[in-house]
Amino acid sequence: MATMLLDFDSQGDVILLVGNRPDDGTTEATSGSKFLSIVNMGVSMSTVKLKVSSKKLIASSPCFEAMLDGSHKEAQELRDSGTTEINLCGPEDDPEAMIIIMGILHGTGSDIKPPNTTNLFLLEKIVDLTDKYQCHAVVLNSARQWADKLYNLEGLPTTLNPDLLSWLWISWVLGLQSHFQTLSAVAMRTTIGPMSLTDESIKVPERVVTQMNDKRRWAFSQLEQAADQLLEDLMKQNCPLPSTDDRSDDENLGLYLTKCAILGYSSAQFQKLKISDVDGSSVAAIQEAVGNLYDFDPNYNYYRKYQSSRTREDFVSLLQQCPQWNLKKRLQEVLDGLDNMTLGLDYETLRPPHLDATHPPGISV
C-alpha cells in the first residue's frame, strides 16, 4: 500500500515520515489542506509522509530546531542537499495528531477540529506530541479550544479511570487550572491505595503523583484522628455527662450506659471502616461506609438491656444531648471538609516549564 504524501508547503524542504508501517517506496500525493478534511472525517492511517518547511519547524519547536539547525545528520543533510527526511516512528507519533499539528504550524489549521470533537484519545495524542516536540506556543490555544468543547459536551470523569488520567495530563500540559484541581481531587478521593510512580498510564510528572499521594495520606490521617479522638474521649471520660441537676439517677445511668454502648459500637465500626488502611481503601469508600452508619439503633438495643422501661425516643433524647459522642457526625464533618478545593492540587506550584509569564495557564470553568 502506498504511503500518502501530504504537501503542507510546496517549497517544503523536510519530509516527515510519521507512523509505524515500513515505507514501501511508493507515494500518493495530496495537499496538506485537502487532507485535513479527510482527518476531520475520522479516517485512520498508520503511516504518512508530510512535506513541510524547515523554517516553520525551527521557529515552532526547539526539538526540531536541534535536529535541523545543529549538528545532527538531518541538519547536515539539509545544509548539503537542501532537503532531508526525518523518521518519526515512536509509539506516541500518531499520524492524525501530527497532521493536525503541522496544519497549525503551517497556517492551514485554523479551522481544524479533532474528529467528532468528542475524541479524547486524539486530543491526548495531540497533547502528547505538542509536549514531546515542545511546540506549545503554537498549538496551545487551539488545543485549549478543543478541550473546552470536549468538556462542555461530556464534563469531567468522576472516578479514577483511564479517561481521568488522560484529562489530568491534558489539563496539566494545557494549563487548565480548575480542571487540574478537580481531577486531582477526584483521583485522590477514589483511588484504592496510593498512585504508582511507575504506572505508564500516568503521564503527569512524578512530582504531581507524589503530591497527590501525600495529600491522600493527609486525608486518611484527618479521618483517623477524628475517630481516635472520639474513642479516647469516651474511654478517658473527656466527654462529660450533661448536668445532672434536673436528672434522676435512672437517667444518669442511662446516659452512662449509652456512652458505653457508643464506645463499643464505635470501636467495632472503626475497624470496619478501614480508616487506617491507606493502602487498601479509598476516601470515597470510607465516605460511603460512613453514610451507612447508624446514629442510634445499635446503641439503643444495648441500652434497652439495662433500661427496659425507657422508649427509643427517651434514648434518642439522651443521645442528642451529647452529639460529640456520634462517630458518624464526627467523621462526616471531616469528609465534608475534603472538597475539591481542599484535596485538589495547587496548579501554580506544579505548572510545567512551558507555561511561563509569556504563555500563562488557561482559564477553564
Query: How is the chain split into domains, by residue range?
Result: 3-112, 217-338
Tens digit of each residue's pLDDT (9 = 90 or more) over 196-249: 989 999 999 999 999 999 999 999 999 999 888 877 777 765 445 555 555 555
Report the alpha-carbon distance of residue 55 to residue 165 in Å, rounded.
35
Residue 193 region by backbone torsions, left for phi larger than 0, else alpha for psi between -120 and 50, else beta:
left
Tens digit of each residue's pLDDT (9 = 90 or more) over 123-147: 999 999 999 999 999 999 999 999 9
Q: What is the DSSP string of 29-46?
A: EEEHHHHHHHHHTT---S
Report the alpha-carbon distance of residue 180 to residue 172 in Å, rounded.
6
Portion of the chain with pLDDT greater than 90, in percent: 45
- Mean pLDDT score of the chain, rounded to an integer? 80
Tens digit of each residue's pLDDT (9 = 90 or more) over 148-170: 999 998 999 999 999 999 999 99
Model-wide pTM > 0.75: yes
Question: Is the C-alpha dihedral spanning 274, 275, 280, 285 positive or negative?
Answer: positive
Q: Provide the H-helix boundaries in the chain.
A: 32-40, 54-60, 62-68, 73-81, 95-105, 120-132, 136-154, 162-174, 177-190, 206-236, 249-273, 283-291, 297-304, 312-320, 327-336, 340-343
Of 66-80, 81-95, 324-338, 347-361, the poorest mean pLDDT is in: 347-361
Report the alpha-carbon distance of residue 194 to residue 209 in Å, rounded.
9
pLDDT band at 188 (very low <50, low <70, confident <90, very high): very high
For residue 254 the three cell numbers come to 442511662
* Helical pair 136-154 and 162-174, crossing angle rounded to 10 deg: 140
Of 67-76, 115-124, 172-181, 278-287, the poorest mean pLDDT is in: 115-124
For residue 245 the three cell numbers come to 441537676
- Mean pLDDT along residues 325-332: 81
Q: How high is the pLDDT of residue 292?
A: 82
